[in-house]
Each structure stands twice: as C-alpha cells, then as structure tokens.
Structure 1
Amino acid sequence: MPFEFAYAVKDDYSGNDFSHDEKSDGDVTSGSYRVLLPDGRTQIVTFTADHHNGYVAQVTYEGEASYPAPAPYHPPPPPAPYHPPPPAPLYKPAPASAPEEA
C-alpha cells in the first residue's frame, strides 16, 4: 500500500535532534532518518526495503566527534577522628533521710 510521512524534532532544552522520512509505492519502501549523537556527530541512515533485497541501509556521519576532558578526581576529605563522649558519672543515691513523724 503506498504511503508517505515525515517528522522532525529539535528541542534545544533536552538536546533531542532527530528526523525521519519514509515513502513507499507499494513495492519498494525508501527513506532516511538522522539523529544527533552524544559525541556531536549526526548519524544519517538512508535505506530501501523490498521483498527481493530486504532492508538495505547506508550509514554515514556528519561532523567530528568530540569528547569533553574528564574532570579531575578530588577524593573526599578523610572523616574526622572519632572521640567517644566521656563516661557518665556513677549514680550516687541521695542519702536516706529519717521518716518524718506526724
């Protein structure tokens, strides 16, 4: 069955940048899609598909891959030494007083 469609997304906030277009005459389907990769390149896949050759794709890239320099490692400071609290004083009951007489 013949068809044709296309869509594209470019969202600067999230960094999503991709598109896809495809069409078919009922026998052969062809199209392409592209996506911005995390390394800064754009991957482009151009394809055809039919019942005789199957799915045939050509993959190309635009741009140069770039990787940020790794951040220097700074180990966390050592924990403060533990000093237990001083022992509680021993319990000394108050001296017993003589019962009061009524």
Structure 2
Amino acid sequence: MHKVLLLVVSLAASWAYPIDYGTQLTPAIVKEDPAAYPKYHFEYGVKDDQTGDIKEQAEERDGDVVKGEYSLIEPDGTLRKVQYQDDGKSGFNAIVTRGHSTHPAPKKVAVPVPVPLLYHH
C-alpha cells in the first residue's frame, strides 16, 4: 500500500509546476476584422389561411444603415405595415400605417319564429 501511495505522490509532484506570481497580465488588443463588415439582406413571409396568420418581413443592412419593413394582418382583419430605418446617427425611426379592418360581413342566421298554437274548444 505504501508503494502505491509513494507512486501517486511522486506522480503528483512531477505534474506540478512552479507558479510565477510576478507575471503581469496585459489587456488584449482587439482588432476589427475588415471581412466582418455588417452587410445582409433577408426576407420571409407566412400565409396560413387556416389560422389567419399572415405576415411578411424584409430587412437589409449595409454597415451602420439598417432599413426594413414588415406587415401583418391583425386579429380584427386590419393590415398593419411598419417601415423602419436606422442610419447609425439619428436612431431608430419607424412609420406605422394601418388599413381598415376587413371583417367579413356577418352571416345571416335564420331565427325560428314561434308559431302560435290554436286551441278549439
């Protein structure tokens, strides 16, 4: 048992290394990668007639300038459209427009009219 303990202690000592507490850390210098210029374009749309989920979005970015728009059909049938942009200087600006609701005309439901019963004596 002592031989095994001695072996473990000697292995542990061989893996140990001195720590230099006098080493000073210097902050890392981060350089921007010119290949990482922010530029993209995307768009998507959903049209699910069963659930009524209808929406679209498109956006593009070129450097600090972001432009885009999205639209959706709200639960009351109104079309909402939002156009937005951020030029990197004046902040985020959006223009929101709403159309008129497009509720379908209410269905006419036949209501039964009670017929009076005539009693003869």
Q: TM-score range by the shorter chain?
A: 0.5 to 0.7
Give the deviation of 1:59 after TM superposition. Answer: 0.1
Give 3-state SS (helix, strand or coil) of 1:52's partner. Answer: coil
CA distance in 2, matches of 1:65, 1:14: 16
Give 3-state SS (helix, strand or coil) of 2:64's partner. Answer: coil
Find the counterpart in structure 2 of residue 17 from structure 1.
Answer: 54
Find the counterpart in structure 1 of residue 67 from structure 2.
Answer: 30
Q: Which moved more, 1:57-66 or 1:35-44?
A: 57-66
CA distance in 1, matches of 2:75, 2:104: 9
> Residues 34-89 of structure 1, C-alpha deviation per residue, up to 9 Å, x if partnerless?
010111111000000132111100000123365988xxxxxxxxxxxxxxxxxxxx
Percent of aligned pairs with the same amino acid: 33
Letter in 2 for 1:47: Y
Q: Which has the higher strand share?
A: 1
Q: Which has the higher helix share?
A: 2
CA distance in 2, matches of 1:15, 1:67: 13
CA distance in 1, matches of 2:74, 2:104: 12
Q: Does 1:7 align with 2:44?
A: yes
Find the counterpart in structure 2 of residue 40 from structure 1.
Answer: 77
Q: Structure 2 regions of 5+ residues with no counterpart?
A: 1-37, 107-121
CA distance in 2, matches of 1:62, 1:68: 17
CA distance in 2, matches of 1:39, 1:14: 13
Q: 1:64 aligns with which of 68, 93, 101?
A: 101
Q: TM-score, normalised by structure 2?
A: 0.52
Q: Structure 1 regions of 5+ residues with no counterpart?
A: 70-102
* RMSD value, Cα: 2.0
Give 3-state SS (helix, strand or coil) of 2:84's partner. Answer: strand
